[in-house]
Structure formats: C-alpha cells, structure tokens
C-alpha cells in the first residue's frame, strides 16, 4: 500500500500535480465556505499511483488516518484520484451517507468527473464534481442537469476535415463499384458499416440496402463512363491512391476526527 501522506493544511492535496493553482484556490474557497456553513469537510486528494492497492481501501485509510469531518458528526468526504490507474473514489463519512448516497456518488463519478477526465480536463472535472458534492452536503437537491458537460461538438476545422475525408471516401467507393455491374459489394460494405457504427440489426439492414442502392447507381450509370474515360469523378485519370500540493485557505483549522465506514463509490475514466 502507498504510504498515507501527512494531512494537508487545507482541503486539497495535489500530489499528482494535475490541478492548476487557480483550481486549488477556487476549491479552497468553496470548501472553506462549506465548513463554515455546516461543519462538513470535503477534501480532494490526487496521487500518481495506487501501487496495485485497491482504491477503496486506500481512500478509507486516508479518511480514518486524517479524521476528515467532525468527530461528533462524522461529516467528511474524500474525493481521491489516482492518475496512473485512471481510477477515482468518493469516500463518504458515516454522517453524510444519507445526504451523499452511493448511487449519487457513482453518478458524479460517471456523469461528471469521467466526462472531463477523458478529455484531459482535470480542473473542470474536479470543480464540477466538488460543486455537486458541496450542494449535497448542504442538503440541496441532487440535480446533475445543473452541472455543465464538456463540449464534444465539432469545431469548424474538424468538420471540414471530416467532409474532405467523406468526399474522398465516396469517390473511392463509386470508382470501385463502377468497375463491376454486380451489386453485392455495396451491400456488404454497407452492412459492415452499419454493424461497426451502430451494432444494431436494424441499422445493418438499413445500411445494407443503402449500400446496394449506391452500388446499383454506380454500376448502372457509371460503368461505361469509367470503362471508356477513366475515373468519372475526376473526368479522367487513374484511380490510384491519391502543481504543487494543496496549500492552506483562510478558516481551515484542521480535520476534526470524523469516521468512515466504506460508503461511497468508485469508477474509472
């Protein structure tokens, strides 16, 4: 098991150095405000590796060793992130297990943190996850729709690249199909495309029919053109292949001896 580091002088211990200074400052401010509100303590811990040790056991050891939360309320929570293993754990103290349930912890990991971590955006993933944990610890409603999600839409350059690739792919298919009057090649290609993209019988059938239709067009209308004049799409020519650990924040007076019993959830990205 990796050694348990000394308790930090604040709510963030970024041993893996994956968080920016601005994010650490924002977390310190938000979590200090939470503790001032109802004495709950949430701490964010990042490490480089678990050294093949279960993340559940390690998070529990951190919670019990540091005593996150208040002894009389057991209202501590740990958000542990292991960079090398790409694993994370939300460990919830006894007193918050009713406010932050196992199902809610998993939803935060799966729907919020993992979405950003997969894009390499640890800052936003941690900030958004802690925001939800903060709201739950304050007794507010659990509503992930209020949390922004990473923008996965294509930008103009990516869209242009895909259109160019689609153009050349379509040309290549028509050139290939127009060499023969048989339709079966288009059907096979379409069916495989539907299976790979959607893994659905309905889409396989649809893409098979679409492939047959496109092959029919190419074979019927462009066979003679290709035979006598070369690649129809070009009007001739060949068909060749063209950091740092967390610091202190005002108001932090240390952990209060909270207890943990294994509540929470784990996940990967």
SS3 per-residue string spanning 187-242 = HHHHHHHHHHHHCCHHHHHHHHHHHHHHHHHHHHHCHHHHHHHCCCCCCCCCCCCC
Distances (CA, A) of 28 to 34, 57, 208, 239: 10, 26, 56, 62
Q: CA–CA separation, 173 vs 177, rounded Å?
A: 6
Cβ atoms of 233 and 174 within 8 Å: the answer is yes
Which residues of the chain, if any, have pLDDT below 70? 141-187, 190-191, 194, 197-200, 215-253, 256-257
**What's the Rg (C-alpha) of the chain?**
28
> Looking at the domain 12-151+259-268, which fold is it?
Diaminopimelate Epimerase; Chain A, domain 1 (3.10.310)
196-230 burial, b if ≥16 CB within 10 A, otherwise e? eeeeeeebbeebbebbbebbeebbeebbeebeeee
Where are the CATH 3.10.310.50 domain residues in the chain?
12-151+259-268
Q: What's residue 170's pLDDT?
A: 61
Q: What's residue 239's pLDDT?
A: 43
Q: What's residue 120's pLDDT?
A: 96
């Amino acid at each position: 098991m990796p050694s348990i580091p000394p308790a930090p002088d604040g709510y963030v211990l970024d041993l893996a150095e994956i968080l920016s200074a601005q994010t650490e400052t924002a977390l310190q401010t938000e979590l200090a405000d939470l503790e001032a509100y109802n004495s709950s303590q949430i701490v964010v811990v990042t490490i480089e590796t678990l050294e093949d040790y279960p993340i559940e056991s390690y998070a529990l050891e951190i919670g019990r060793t540091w005593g996150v939360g208040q002894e009389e309320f057991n209202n501590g929570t740990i958000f542990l992130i292991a960079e090398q293993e790409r694993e994370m754990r939300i460990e919830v103290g006894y007193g918050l297990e009713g406010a932050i349930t196992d199902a809610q912890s998993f939803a935060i990991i799966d729907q919020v943190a993992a979405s950003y971590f997969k894009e390499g955006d640890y800052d936003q993933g941690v900030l958004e996850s802690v925001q939800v944990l903060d709201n739950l610890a304050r007794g507010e409603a659990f509503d992930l729709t209020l949390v922004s999600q990473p923008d996965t839409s294509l930008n103009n350059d990516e869209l242009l690249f895909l259109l160019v690739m689609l153009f050349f792919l379509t040309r290549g298919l028509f050139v290939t199909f127009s060499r023969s009057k048989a339709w079966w090649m288009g059907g096979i290609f379409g069916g495989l495309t539907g299976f790979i993209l959607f893994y659905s019988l309905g889409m396989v059938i649809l893409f098979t029919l679409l492939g047959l239709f496109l092959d029919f067009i190419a074979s019927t209308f462009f066979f003679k053109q290709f035979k006598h004049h070369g690649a129809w799409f070009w009007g001739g020519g060949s068909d060749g292949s063209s950091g740092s650990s967390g610091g202190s924040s005002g108001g932090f007076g240390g952990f209060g001896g909270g207890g943990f019993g294994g509540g929470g959830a784990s996940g990967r990205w």
